[in-house]
Amino acid sequence: MKPLLKIGAAGLLFAVVAGCTGHSASDNAQSQQPEPSDYTTEALAWADSVVGKMTIEEKVGQLFMPAVYSRSDAVSMEAVRHYVEDIHVGGFVLLKGTSAEARVLSDSVLRWSRVTPLIGMDAEWGLGMRFSDSPSYPVNRNLRDVDAVRMFDYGREIARQARISGVNLILGPVADVVPPDGGGFIGMRSFGSDAGRVADMTVAYSRGLESGAVMSCAKHFPGHGSASGDSHKSLSVIRKSREALLREDMEPFRRYAGEGLSGIMVGHLSAPSLDSTGRGSSYSEIIIQDYLRGELEFQGLVLTDALSMGGASGGDALDALKAGADIVLCPADTRAEITRVIESVRSGDFPESDLDARVRRILFYKYRFRLG
């Protein structure tokens, strides 16, 4: 697939999706539009029934997705089996490897798990971002000639490739709006500086993914585009006014939430105009509850960015969960973090009712995407 990168971005995406589906991009987008779930009542009933049979340890495990390499050797598989059978994790984030080994890993996890786990990965320019045997596509900034119809088809094609590899959650798209000069840490990963276009592309790609039975997760709320610094290394700061954040940076997330899409990742970002304490967004009840849940009325899953990143050093998994996150990604020490949350539930510091609410929401989406 590498030679295809020599042709234009629009031509590349059109050729790939049309060739794989047997339809034109326009026909495919019109015929494959996702419809609201007809299974809400069933999904909620199923989630309630499963939660009622879980131990505290099993429920807490559902909130965690540790990172693992996409390898299927004996040592790697034993480590994954430990995560599933001993500490009951709810899913995994796949790191570098191959799609073939990811499939072996995913199939094994399915056999070992009581509840099907989420298998997620970053694929901002295709599965080739993590898998050496998968195709890569242009970064978002280079998709200037791609419209929403083709972006939908692109998302659907990525979903097809993901399901073949055993992946059911894409940690994307990047919904961050960058400055007009395209600078900053996010840079080429963004669809650009026009909030309306970023929103259009974010929604179209996400709908394409979800029409292909793969969950999407827009990132990085409340908007990493103009933040100073690299959140992999330290907490990044957004120095915009509240009004500018609502009007520009949050617009793609507002549109995403309004479409009823599934997941939003909260970044390791300090936004003093939203939360005067300056704490990172992943640990801020104000940013998650007042803005993401309240202002944007988002009903889906809230995920943290990787807690192993330098920008997450101001808190831990329990802090993120208390602030309102549903799922914590890639903690540095998953067992220790899970143990701390279990102890907090048992002591009443983190109410079991709050734990149950998060697990029900996670299970609802697993059912919605036929993962139950």
- Report the catalytic residues: 232, 305
Return the sign of the alpha-carbon dihedral for residues 350, 354, 360, 365.
negative
Beta bridge partners of 345: none
Helices 148-164, 195-211: axis angle to 10 degrees equals: 40
Give 38-44's long-range contacts (Cβ < 8 A, gap of 24+): 39/367, 39/368, 42/367, 43/363, 43/364, 43/367, 43/368, 43/372, 44/360, 44/364
Q: Is there a contact between 175 and 296 (Cβ–Cβ < 8 Å)?
A: no
The tokens for 146 are 């791609």
Whole-angstrom Cα distance, residue 365 to residue 260? 12
Name the nearest CA neighbour of 188 among 124, 123, 93, 111: 124
Whole-angstrom Cα distance, residue 324 to residue 38? 27
Q: How many helices (H) and strands (E) does the chain have?
A: 14, 11
Whole-angstrom Cα distance, residue 293 to residue 305? 17
Whole-angstrom Cα distance, residue 316 to residue 324? 13
Whole-angstrom Cα distance, residue 34 to residue 31? 9
CA angle 327, 232, 244 (to 5 degrees): 80
β-pairing, 263-266 vs 328-329, is unpaired
Whole-angstrom Cα distance, residue 49 to residue 360? 9
The single residue listed with the structure tokens 């495990």 is 61
